[in-house]
Structure 1
Amino acid sequence: MTARHPSPPGRAAPRLSEDRPDLAAGLAADTAARLLAMRVAMLLVLLVSAALSDGVLHAGSHWFILGGYAASSLWLAVTARRRNSARLAWIATLLDAALAAYIVLEYMMAAADTADEHGTMASRLPAFLLLLESGLTLRPRHTAVFAAVVAGVWSGALGLGLLDPGLGLPPAGPQLFGLLSFLVASAFVIEGVTRLHRGVAAMLRLEHERASLARFVPAGIDLVHRDGPTALQPRHACLLALDIRGFSALTRRWGEDRVVGWLLAVRALVHAAVTEHGGLVDKYVGDGVLAQFVDGAPAEQAAAALACVREIAERMEQMNETRRREGLPPLALTASLHAGEVLVGVLDDGARAEFTVLGPAMNALARIEARAKRENLPVAVSKRVLRLLGPAAPPARRLPRRPGEEDCPDLFGLDPLTAVAS
């Protein structure tokens, strides 16, 4: 049995998956200006470094590359909202990797004879800064590609220098130390980004599922499964079905317009009692109400459900006293209780959301309800519910089976007012 709640027309319910690129794109929203500011700050550092040097290391190509990188960064920031964010992210990653690799390679090619400490720091700064920037986007694959490109160019240049000393590359020792430092930093950043990505994805998934369930489940009942998706999950529940006895006859005698008001009053009464006892109303079917108690241990669920039935009976008695004074017929309910394992959760295809409870226990509850109506019982409980109640179970009379009722669980009748209180 399900409770169906359509999503607003024209709006698909949001979805979140840890493996989809939506997470990084969503977290990167509104960060284009900040990323541009980081690139501008790094370019300023490179410009200052170039201005302070004697110019030997910075030929015209150096300024051309920096200018092109600045223009491309500005273009990325301006078009980030209008173009494919995934494609732009890869373009930005490759541009960053190309700049970092170029600065390292330029220094290695031009600074063999004029190497200095400031030049060494300036040549490595873009690689480390852009590595951190790539990590802040929470895209582990992009960060890994950036590190691989830079490290590949760096190690390739070192290898060429060792194979052909005539290239005039600087000594391999300092460069090897810089390369190893970059590789270690890359490993730490990639590992941290991967952990953070998974943590943020899990947190957003939980919040998304709680927001979906909030439309159906009262506050204080947590059906979210922290280890994975919870569209449907196995869970023990105590099930309660309530019906107004003789409702069809009342409708024929008093008319539909008048009886509808009585039905709404009973629904409000039942909903309040179920919620107060930690249960949740699944759905309304005609003059019937289906509720579940899924919070706590199975014994606690059964105790809460039975206490709820007693509360409903007491409130119905008070309502009927008022109805008698007004010359209206009293209303009687049949309550059916069963317990068992069910699949519970929200199924949402983007067009319609359904709070769903499935399983053999639901089918058995329908048979218990039908039999309780035939017997005209105020409260009928299955043998499983009585076992869950243990020593606290109230006195009950067992109903004998009739032909055709072999598939119905063992059934017991209770008095809702006196038996439960004992």
Structure 2
Amino acid sequence: MTTRQPSPPGRTTAPRRAGDRPHLADGLAAGTAVRVLAMRLVMLGVLAVSAFLSDGVLHAGSHWFILGGYAVSSLWIAATVRRRNSARLAWIATLLDAGLAAYIVLEFMMAASDGADEPGTMASRLPAFLLLLESGLTLRPRHTVVFAALVAGVWSGALGLGLLNPHLGLPPAGPQVFGLLSFVVAAAFVIEGAFRLRRGFAAMLRLEHERATLARFVPAGIDLVRRDGATVLQPRHACLLALDIRGFSALTRRWGEARVLDWLLAVRALAHAAVTEHGGLVDKYVGDGILAQFVDGTPAGQAAAALACVREIEARMERMNEARRRQDLPPLALTASLHAGEVLVGVLDDGLRAEFTVLGPAMNALARVEARAKRENLAVAASKRVMRLLGPDAPPARRLPRRPGEEDCPDLFGLEPVLMAQPSPVPTAVS
């Protein structure tokens, strides 16, 4: 049985189209327009209250101009949200908000020069800070940086002009410098928070995407997703199990392909159920062969689960063969080969096709273990490494002598089927 060919459609491979994988921008853009409109509606109410409370403080009609401009821009965004690119819409909203915030700051600076009170001056800064927060909540740090830079640039420019030319009638620089510094500090906190939230969302989306991808291949309860980096392929210890029907070609020639196919499907269903019940996962079906792996838990736990799975498969095969004998059908015999080692486990996805795979020297060694077990006509074969992992719980086994040409094959032990009424061999020490 080979171990690198693709499995049948619908099991471990799935066609993919380029661009199907969700990106962070797509995840964040989902619902952004609705959130922006909701925040703008709240801001519209705040500006309306501010305009009502500060009536008479600003230059004539200016606060109503601010309120009207913000309302018109919000209505325009709502009317065009379905026809415009979400990224472009976000930039337009950012620039409109920056322009509005800068206008509010300048207008209140001019009003302060005419004798506006301190509460009015403080209220003048509130829309700029709220618009800054609105920009940060979109989780687009670059937009927030641009917004803060534009507002702070206009604010500091006006202060500079007032210092260079006192005849412009701008208010004293002290309170305005404090307000500008407060805005810059607040912008730094908002930008840093947006970056943190964005990274958090990126990690969350990555984990969910990988779990959704692996869910097509890995049974529930086995988590192969790493939280500290990409998990396309990750090193992991695994106990590998290869199952093969002995004499399958002869059975096909004698009984015909159509009939033998039903037997093969029955064996696959039996093995799949046993592997899943013992915490393993079926990796591939190749011809009459089955490749399974146990990747959950400690290496010793993996080996124990794999051996228990083999014993369960033996018991189920014995019950199946009893039913077959009553139907005058030939019994089916399996060869189970066990090996363990470090492998690369994960999903290989080139954008066109995704496949769950296991790579590494242990996989190549498993193929040699399986070939040797077939030559020896063994029911169960386990490599020396598996026997070491089993430790005191290792079953009685006989060590197979090496033959010429088998130098690259791991040391192998033959385990007798537990259901065969034969005297148990003398336990062999694993050194």
TM norm structure 2: 0.90
Alignment-derived partner of residue 15 in structure 1: 21
**Residues 1:12 and 1:375: Cα distance change in structure 2 (over 3 Å):** same
Alignment-derived partner of residue 28 in structure 1: 32
Question: Which of residues 53, 57, 71 is equivalent to 2:56?
Answer: 53
Alignment-derived partner of residue 158 in structure 2: 157
1:106 aligns to 2:112 (yes or no): no
Superposition map of 1:22-421 within 5 A: 22-26=26-30, 28=32, 30-49=34-53, 52-53=55-56, 57-59=58-60, 63-64=64-65, 66-417=67-418
Q: Displacement, 1:97? A: 1.0
Q: Displacement, 1:31? A: 2.5
Distance 2:25 2:251 in 1: 58
8 Å CA contact 2:104–2:124 kept in 1: the answer is yes
8 Å CA contact 2:33–2:86 kept in 1: the answer is no
Distance 1:416 1:62 in 2: 89
Structure 2 residue identity aligned to 1:347? L
Superposed CA RMSD in Å reads 2.2
8 Å CA contact 1:338–1:384 kept in 2: the answer is yes
8 Å CA contact 1:36–1:74 kept in 2: the answer is no
Q: Displacement, 1:68? A: 3.8
Task: State the Cα deviation string for residues 261-297 of structure 1 (Å, max 9, x = none).
Answer: 1111111110000000000000111111000100011
Distance 2:338 2:191 in 1: 54
**Residues 1:23 and 1:278: Cα distance change in structure 2 (over 3 Å):** same
Once structures 1 and 2 are overlaid, which stretch shifts more, 79-88 or 367-376? 79-88
**Residues 1:224 and 1:198: Cα distance change in structure 2 (over 3 Å):** same
Q: Displacement, 1:62? A: 6.0
8 Å CA contact 2:244–2:335 kept in 1: the answer is yes
**Residues 1:75 and 1:29: Cα distance change in structure 2 (over 3 Å):** closer
Task: State the Cα deviation string for residues 295-337 of structure 1 (Å, max 9, x = none).
Answer: 0111111111111111111111111111112211111000011
Q: Displacement, 1:67? A: 3.4
**Residues 1:301 and 1:13: Cα distance change in structure 2 (over 3 Å):** farther
Once structures 1 and 2 are overlaid, which stretch shifts more, 340-349 or 366-375? 340-349
| Percent pairwise identity | 78
Once structures 1 and 2 are overlaid, which stretch shifts more, 59-68 or 329-338? 59-68
**Residues 1:236 and 1:27: Cα distance change in structure 2 (over 3 Å):** farther
8 Å CA contact 2:284–2:292 kept in 1: the answer is yes
8 Å CA contact 1:243–1:287 kept in 2: the answer is yes
8 Å CA contact 2:47–2:67 kept in 1: the answer is yes
Task: State the Cα deviation string for residues 354-406 of structure 1 (Å, max 9, x = none).
Answer: 11111111111111111111111101111111111122222221112222222
SS in 2 for 1:111: helix
Distance 1:39 1:85 in 2: 20
Distance 1:148 1:13 in 2: 34
8 Å CA contact 1:154–1:179 kept in 2: the answer is yes
Q: Displacement, 1:49? A: 4.1
**Residues 1:110 and 1:47: Cα distance change in structure 2 (over 3 Å):** closer
Task: State the Cα deviation string for residues 187-229 of structure 1 (Å, max 9, x = none).
Answer: 2212222111111221121111111111110010000011112
TM norm structure 1: 0.92
Distance 2:404 2:220 in 1: 44
**Residues 1:29 and 1:240: Cα distance change in structure 2 (over 3 Å):** farther
SS in 1 for 2:124: helix
8 Å CA contact 2:15–2:354 kept in 1: the answer is no
Once structures 1 and 2 are overlaid, which stretch shifts more, 360-369 or 78-87? 78-87
Task: State the Cα deviation string for residues 9-34 of structure 1 (Å, max 9, x = none).
Answer: 8x6674244xx532321252542431
- Could you tell me which runs of 5 or more consecutive residues in structure 2 were left unpaired when the two chains were aligned: none
Structure 1 residue identity aligned to 2:356? F
Structure 2 residue identity aligned to 1:164? N
8 Å CA contact 1:27–1:137 kept in 2: the answer is no
**Structure 1 ranges of 4+ moved more than 3 A:** 2-9, 11-14, 59-69
- Could you tell me which runs of 5 or more consecutive residues in structure 1 were left unpaired when the two chains were aligned: none
Distance 1:319 1:133 in 2: 67
Q: Displacement, 1:173? A: 1.8
Distance 1:70 1:371 in 2: 79
Task: State the Cα deviation string for residues 57-108 of structure 1 (Å, max 9, x = none).
Answer: 2346665555344323222222223222112211211111111111101211
Distance 1:417 1:97 in 2: 78
Distance 2:15 2:348 in 1: 15
8 Å CA contact 1:49–1:122 kept in 2: the answer is no
8 Å CA contact 1:283–1:290 kept in 2: the answer is yes
Once structures 1 and 2 are overlaid, which stretch shifts more, 307-316 or 64-73? 64-73
**Residues 1:30 and 1:349: Cα distance change in structure 2 (over 3 Å):** farther
Distance 1:103 1:65 in 2: 7
8 Å CA contact 1:7–1:350 kept in 2: the answer is no
**Residues 1:291 and 1:29: Cα distance change in structure 2 (over 3 Å):** farther
